[in-house]
Amino acid sequence: MLTSFYRYLLGGLVLSISIQDRFPFSLIFHSTSEEALHRRNYFYVGGRYVNVTQENDFESGVVKVEQMYVEQLTPGTIRQKYPLVLWPGAGQTGTNFLNTPGGRGGWASHWLKRGYTVYIIDSPERGRSPWLATDGGIIGSPPLQLIQQFFTTAQDFKLWPQAYLHTQWPGTGYPGSPAFDQFYASQVQLQLNLTRSEAISRAGGIALLDKIGPAFLLMPGRIWLKELSRLNLKARRRSPCPPFVNEFLPAPGPARPYGITNLPLTYDPPVGNPHDIPTVTRPPPKENLSSCILQAEPAKKLVNLVKIPVLLVTAEASYHAISDYCTVDYLKQAGVETKWLNLSDYGIHGNGHMLFMEKNNIEIVQLLDKWLESKARG
């Protein structure tokens, strides 16, 4: 005798089936009122075909490398002129934006409800964007302690002056806490050769914008799509590193010879060699901030970025809180229209580097909405 019954519960659908009362099956379809209804599609952009020699069970031949995975989420009714492209940071994938490790709605659902088409990517050689082991580079995975030190329990390690202010991570931030275990399980391999990572990410980003047209970008600052001449948002839930130097990750010391990138950017007057950029060091304006390396005046202009409005978001307890003001000043000096959203100045406190998945993530994204709307009108 085949019997089946359906039970509808608030917030989810449970379907239970028993066959001849001997083989029980339970299928549980979870949903939440925080998630937005949408249509889903995916595609790949960029990449190239190469001949490879493989010392394994596969024969040598042609494979594709450096392609980038893109997930497209379309709301029931599109109400916004420009879509959003959500670009996760190092060691992360697009899951960052779908929902939070604590089980609440993510930024993707928030923007779908507001009528934006949302594109979520996995950077080349990461997540669903394949990596060919024989194609060079250095691949590594984020160790657990690094995740705790910089993202989930910065307040306990106190590696920078503002770290003690971190209060917004859900749960304890340690292994065994459900939110931490979910977040750490989502960490993936990443390309540790930063010049290579920038190059393949830049190519993927340009290929995506060539396909979808003008868009707002929410992305790590180290990519800075070189020849971008489209309407963009660079809203840094992972703020860009300061000009010419690392304060912390991946290691303290000189970095980004072109100011904000390892790869060349188009300056005016032109820069043939990054050593052609004269610099000066400015002392910190107050305690607990870093000094800044800026251009010597008259400053060269970043001619392909001057028409692109930039919003730089700084969390109060992030390791970027010590130096983000330097990046703002560098961009403005180079002629880039830049607004600094220092969250503590807006009454939003306690956030770390992964602010988009912390307890007050919706309060933060509502501030971004105002800027998005103003630039869409402009």
Would you give the distance in Å from CA 31 to the centre of its chain?
Answer: 25
When comparing pLDDT for 254 and 1, which is higher? 254
H helix or E strand, kind and range, residue 327: helix 324-333
The reply to whether 132 and 202 lie within a common domain is yes
- Please determine, for residue 255, whether its predicted confidence score (pLDDT) is greater than 60: yes
pLDDT digits (tens, 9 = 90+) for 162-185: 999 999 999 999 999 999 999 999
Phi, psi of 264 (to 5 degrees): -60, 140
pLDDT on residue 222? 55
pLDDT on residue 304? 87
Contact 86, 97 (CB under 8 A): yes
From the CB of residue 239, how many other CB atoms can be counted at a distance below 10 Å?
26
Name the least confident of 8-17, 105-114, 139-148, 241-250: 8-17
The reply to whether 23 and 128 lie within a common domain is no
Q: How would you label 3-24 residue by residue, b for 16+ Cβ within 10 Å and e otherwise?
A: eeeeeeeeeeeeeeeeeeeeee
Closest by CA to 139, choosing from 193, 103, 89, is 193
The reply to whether 9 and 86 lie within a common domain is no
Count of structural domains, the chain: 2
Contact 219, 238 (CB under 8 A): no
The reply to whether 1 and 109 lie within a common domain is no
What's the average model confidence in pLDDT over 358-372?
95
pLDDT digits (tens, 9 = 90+) for 15-30: 333 333 444 444 444 4
The reply to whether 110 and 253 lie within a common domain is yes
Q: How would you label 124-154 residue by residue, b for 16+ Cβ within 10 Å and e otherwise?
A: bbbbbbbbeeeeebeeeebeeeebbbbbbbb
**Amino acid identity, residue 215?**
A
What's the average model confidence in pLDDT over 112-129?
96
The reply to whether 328 and 224 lie within a common domain is yes
pLDDT on residue 1? 38
Q: How far is CA 239 from CA 28, 123, 226, 256, 321, in A?
A: 39, 17, 18, 15, 9
Compute the distance between CA of residue 74 and CA of residue 285 in angstroms, rounded to an integer.
Answer: 45
What CATH number has the domain bearing residue 290? 3.40.50.1820
pLDDT digits (tens, 9 = 90+) for 67-116: 999 999 999 999 999 999 999 988 999 999 999 998 899 999 999 999 99
Any idea how long the chain is? Answer: 378
Range of the domain at 321: 38-377
Phi, psi of 68 (to 5 degrees): -125, 130
pLDDT on residue 241? 66
The reply to whether 214 and 343 lie within a common domain is yes
The reply to whether 181 and 304 lie within a common domain is yes
Q: E-assigned strands of 123-270?
A: 139-140, 190-191, 216-218, 245-246, 253-254, 267-268
When comparing pLDDT for 58 and 32, which is higher? 58
The reply to whether 46 and 167 lie within a common domain is yes
Residue 84 exposure: Cα atoms within 13 Å on the Cβ side:
34
Helix (H, G, I), strand (E, B) or coil at 310: strand
Compute the distance between CA of residue 252 and CA of residue 174 in angstroms, rounded to an integer.
Answer: 26
pLDDT digits (tens, 9 = 90+) for 195-218: 888 889 989 998 999 999 989 999
The pTM score is 0.86
The reply to whether 217 and 281 lie within a common domain is yes
Contact 2, 20 (CB under 8 A): yes
Compute the distance between CA of residue 218 and CA of residue 85 in angstroms, rounded to an integer.
Answer: 6
H helix or E strand, kind and range, residue 205: helix 194-212
The reply to whether 13 and 119 lie within a common domain is no
The reply to whether 12 and 47 lie within a common domain is no
